[in-house]
Structures are given as C-alpha cells and as structure tokens.
C-alpha cells in the first residue's frame, strides 16, 4: 500500500487462507480496493515446479487464471471507487444499549469479546469501583495495541482497561499491574500463524501487596491475582486491538493454551539470585511487569543431577531455536546451581549460550531463522553473518547469553525447571508504580 501511495501500481500475492485478513487489512488502511491475487497454501517447503504450477494455475479466491489476475491488477484502469479510497470513522461507543443480562452475555460471545469462558459483565458500578484502583483519570490513554505490525493500532484508555479487568474478574488493587501490561503496547493476542502467547513476570513489592503467589502452583490456576491479571491482559489485548478472531485478526494455526493468561511473580525472597527486574536496571523496591514473547514450546526437567549438562543441551537444542527460552526454575534448583558455581543467573545463561549448539545446516533450515535471521546475515549483521559462513556440519551456537533469561518461581515441593519460548523484548519491563 505504501508503493501505491508513492504512485507505483502494485499487486500483493498472498496464500488463499489469508484472504479475509488481507482484505480487512486493506479496508482498515483506507484502501479497500487494493489489488490482491492468491495462490494455494502452502508456499513454504514447496518445490519450484509446484510453485510454477501455482503461477500457471487458478487463483483459488477469484477462480480466474492467476496470471490473468496479476496482469489485470497492474493494468486495469481505475474506476471511481479506486480513486477515492474509503474514509470512515469507526468510533466505538462507551456504553452499550441497555439489555438483559442473558442477551448481553450472548452479545459478548457473538462479538468475540471474551475468551469463551464466562465474564463479569462490566456495569457502570463495577467499572467505577475498578477505577478506584488507580489514581489516573478514566480518559487517559494508556497505550496502543494491534495484532501484528501491519495492522492499525487501536487506543486503550484507563477506563477501557478497567472494563476488561472487570470482565476478567480482577480486583481494583490489581489495576496498576494490569495497566502496566496495557502500557507495554505488546499484545497478548498476536495474530501470528505460529500461535504466539505472552508470559508476563511481576517483580517488586506489588507482588505481596496484592497477594500474588510465587509458591506452589504459581504458574497454574491456583492464585486469584495471578490468574485474573493474566486473563485481564489477554482480554484487554483482544478488545484493545480490535479483535482476535480466527481468519481475520487471529491466524495461529494450532492455538496456544497460554492465551488464557500466563502471569506469575518471581520468588525473589527465596531466590539466591538477583531479581529479574534488577538485572534490567530497576531498583529492588520498584514494582514492574516484564513480558516474554513466544510461548510456542515448553520443555521440562528436574535436578540439576549429575547429567544436567547433557539434559540442558538436549532441551536447548530440541526447542524451537528461533525463539530464545525463558528458563523458570524452582528455588531448589536455583540454589543447587549456586552450589555448582553458578552464583549468578548471567553465568548460567552464558553456559547455556556457549554449549547449546547444532550443525549450521540445521540452524539455518528453520522457517523463521530463514525468514527473520537470514536477511540480517546477508546484510552482514553479526553474529549471524559468521554463522552463515560456517560449513554445513560446523556446530554453531544458537543464542547469545543475553537472549537466555532466568526467573525463579515455585513452591519447593520438587526441584523442577522449565524452558518456555519467551524472547524478552528489551523495552518490555514496565513500571507498575507509574500506574498506581
């Protein structure tokens, strides 16, 4: 669409499963008549001769010969609709029309405003009570969200965050933590085909002030604050970005259970290491939320035992290596690592980065390494450029030390650890105190 604006006639080629998404994106950009042609899904991992058959074949959406569609898209004269584009105002109302509770519940479900579990209906009284959890005015803009970077960003106010917090069953005292999630600008409901989900970690005094649990079952549904905050983050992402609807604003092929909510605090008092937020430059007395991007995989283990190195290397090389892990471990495991000489998280992360290796041919034969990392390597960006020069059987590292983050959590009923897909975005530690 940027090329069209620059005066260059263009046509975009998509696979057919993206037709609804491509068309709604064009509409929201004010260019609903953007010319698009489609080939069958998939394109990835398809040999050249089959791709040529797509080109010689029929557009599965328009049912016309694919190349006829391409040529027409670039040469067919514009009509009045093409010339004017489409301007419209899509403001959403503050309040819905009065209705019965049953009808409103049905409306919320039909409009995909929930996670399909029952919600607390956001009445004016409940929202007003929730707003007492922050000193900020209801109309203050908290942030903007979108399901992916080629969609338009929607705006969230303090009141809209409060509405979604009510729906999630949150209590007013959770509001500063929920507002910090909203202020991140990182949607918990990315539309990615890869079924992304976010993990968020709370640090600082707020954890204890609102009764979050870093003990038994902290990562599961066993603490009201943990669960309600995680759920609120997902609901405000759905509604704050204009939806998370399959085929339109959500394309994750498998889906992800972490999308119900995945928020927990670090067990700072029982960890032998520096809290995560302090590692990022915050003070121990600051309260923060940190967001980890991914959630596509989870591996687990117990220990460390005598063969922990082999186990860690197997885990680190088995995972989806285009997405660095967040390692969560029970305090028992963390303390035993200290006894093994890892007196900081950074030392263990460095060990993992140095020892997690695979042959260069395997490293590069990954869809997302090809899509996201290969262009950087070609452009000479290190360390990727050196990895691209490596012979196919050379063992190359997968991560830089700073890619691998560690958070301590758990109830000390077992020496358990997990590695969860969770790339930390460097700006993604947000102040909770700023939203009190």
Query: Which residues in the 119-138 window bind other proteins by CB under 8 A?
Result: 121-124, 127
**Residue span binding other proteins (CB under 8 A) among the ranges 153-161, 299-307, 354-362, 393-401:** 153-161
* Binding-site member from 84, 132, 283, 361 for other proteins (CB under 8 A): 84
95 makes contact with other proteins (CB under 8 A): yes
Nearer to other proteins, 113 or 260 (CB): 113
Nearer to other proteins, 40 or 217 (CB): 40
3-state secondary structure of 295: strand
Long-range contacts made by residues 207-211, C-beta under 8 angstroms, separation at least 24? 207/265, 207/266, 207/268, 207/287, 209/173, 210/171, 210/173, 210/174, 210/177
149 makes contact with other proteins (CB under 8 A): yes
Exposed, middle or buried by CB within 10 Å (0-12, 13-18, 19+), for 278? middle
C-beta of 148: minimal distance to other proteins in Å?
8
Nearer to other proteins, 137 or 220 (CB): 137
376 makes contact with other proteins (CB under 8 A): yes
432 makes contact with other proteins (CB under 8 A): no
C-beta of 403: minimal distance to other proteins in Å?
18
Which of 265, 260, 264 has the alpha carbon at shortest distance from 238?
A: 260
Whole-angstrom distance, CA of residue 370 vs CA of residue 334 = 35
Nearer to other proteins, 41 or 307 (CB): 41
* Binding-site member from 64, 68, 78, 300 for other proteins (CB under 8 A): 78
292, containing H or E segment: strand 288-302
C-beta of 340: minimal distance to other proteins in Å?
39
Residue 150 tokens read as 């080629």
Whole-angstrom distance, CA of residue 310 vs CA of residue 288 = 34
SS3 string of 268-280? HHHCCCCCHHHHC
110 makes contact with other proteins (CB under 8 A): no
Nearer to other proteins, 242 or 331 (CB): 242
3-state secondary structure of 40: coil
52 makes contact with other proteins (CB under 8 A): yes
Nearer to other proteins, 81 or 354 (CB): 81
154 makes contact with other proteins (CB under 8 A): yes
94 makes contact with other proteins (CB under 8 A): yes
115 makes contact with other proteins (CB under 8 A): no
Nearer to other proteins, 91 or 285 (CB): 91
C-alpha distances (whole Å) from 401 to each of 280, 345, 346, 380 are 14, 10, 7, 20
C-beta of 255: minimal distance to other proteins in Å?
18
For the packed helices 158-168 and 224-240, what is the interaxial angle rounded to 10 degrees? 130
Query: Which residues in the 207-236 window bind other proteins by CB under 8 A?
Result: 235
Nearer to other proteins, 306 or 379 (CB): 379
C-beta of 195: minimal distance to other proteins in Å?
15
117 makes contact with other proteins (CB under 8 A): no
The CA angle 410-211-420, to the nearest 5 degrees, is 35
96 makes contact with other proteins (CB under 8 A): yes
* Binding-site member from 16, 300, 307, 367 for other proteins (CB under 8 A): 367
* Binding-site member from 61, 131, 158, 163 for other proteins (CB under 8 A): 163
Which of 24, 18, 22, 26 has the alpha carbon at shortest distance from 2?
A: 26
382 makes contact with other proteins (CB under 8 A): no
* Binding-site member from 45, 254, 341, 393 for other proteins (CB under 8 A): 45
Whole-angstrom distance, CA of residue 243 vs CA of residue 246 = 9
Nearer to other proteins, 108 or 312 (CB): 108
Question: 346-357 burial string, b = 16+ CB within 10 Å, else e?
Answer: bbbbbbbbeebb
145 makes contact with other proteins (CB under 8 A): yes
E strands along 149-240, which residues? 154-157, 197-203
């Amino acid at each position: 669409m940027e090329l069209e604006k620059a005066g260059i006639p263009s046509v975009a080629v998509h696979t057919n499963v993206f037709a609804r998404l491509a068309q709604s994106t064009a509409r929201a950009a004010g260019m609903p008549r953007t010319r698009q042609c489609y080939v069958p899904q998939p394109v990835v991992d398809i040999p050249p001769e089959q791709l040529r058959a797509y080109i010689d074949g029929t557009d599965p959406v328009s049912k016309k010969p694919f190349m006829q569609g391409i040529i027409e898209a670039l040469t067919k004269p514009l009509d009045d609709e093409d010339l004017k584009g489409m301007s419209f105002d899509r403001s959403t109302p503050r309040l819905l029309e009065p209705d019965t509770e049953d009808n409103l519940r049905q409306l919320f479900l039909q409009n995909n405003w929930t996670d399909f579990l029952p919600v607390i209906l956001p009445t004016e009284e409940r929202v007003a009570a929730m707003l007492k959890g922050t000193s900020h005015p209801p109309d203050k803009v908290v942030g903007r969200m979108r399901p992916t970077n080629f969609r338009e960003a929607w705006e969230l106010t303090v009141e809209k965050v409060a509405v979604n917090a009510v729906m999630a069953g949150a209590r007013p005292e959770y509001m500063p933590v929920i507002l910090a999630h909203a202020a991140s600008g990182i949607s918990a409901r990315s539309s990615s085909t890869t079924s992304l989900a976010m993990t968020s970690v709370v640090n600082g005094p707020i954890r204890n002030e609102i009764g979050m649990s870093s003990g038994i079952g902290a990562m599961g549904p066993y603490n009201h604050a943990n669960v309600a905050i995680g759920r609120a983050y997902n609901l405000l992402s759905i509604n704050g970005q204009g939806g998370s609807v399959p085929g339109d604003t959500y394309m994750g092929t498998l889906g992800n259970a972490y999308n119900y909510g995945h928020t927990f605090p670090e067990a700072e008092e029982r960890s032998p290491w520096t809290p995560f937020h302090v590692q990022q430059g915050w003070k121990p007395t600051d309260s923060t939320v940190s967001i980890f991007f991914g959630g596509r995989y989870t591996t687990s283990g117990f220990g460390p035992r005598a063969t922990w190195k082999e186990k860690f290397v197997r885990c680190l090389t088995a995972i989806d290596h285009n997405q660095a892990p967040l390692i969560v471990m029970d305090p028992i495991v963390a303390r035993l690592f200290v006894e093994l000489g890892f007196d900081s998280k950074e030392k263990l992360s460095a060990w993992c980065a140095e020892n997690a290796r695979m042959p260069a041919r395997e490293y590069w034969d990954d869809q997302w390494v090809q899509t996201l990392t290969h262009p950087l390597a070609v452009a000479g960006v290190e360390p990727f450029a050196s990895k691209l020069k490596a012979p196919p059987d050379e063992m190359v590292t997968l991560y830089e030390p700073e890619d691998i983050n560690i958070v301590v959590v758990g109830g000390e009923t077992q020496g358990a650890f997990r590695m969860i897909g969770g790339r930390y975005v460097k700006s993604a530690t947000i102040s909770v105190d700023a939203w009190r």
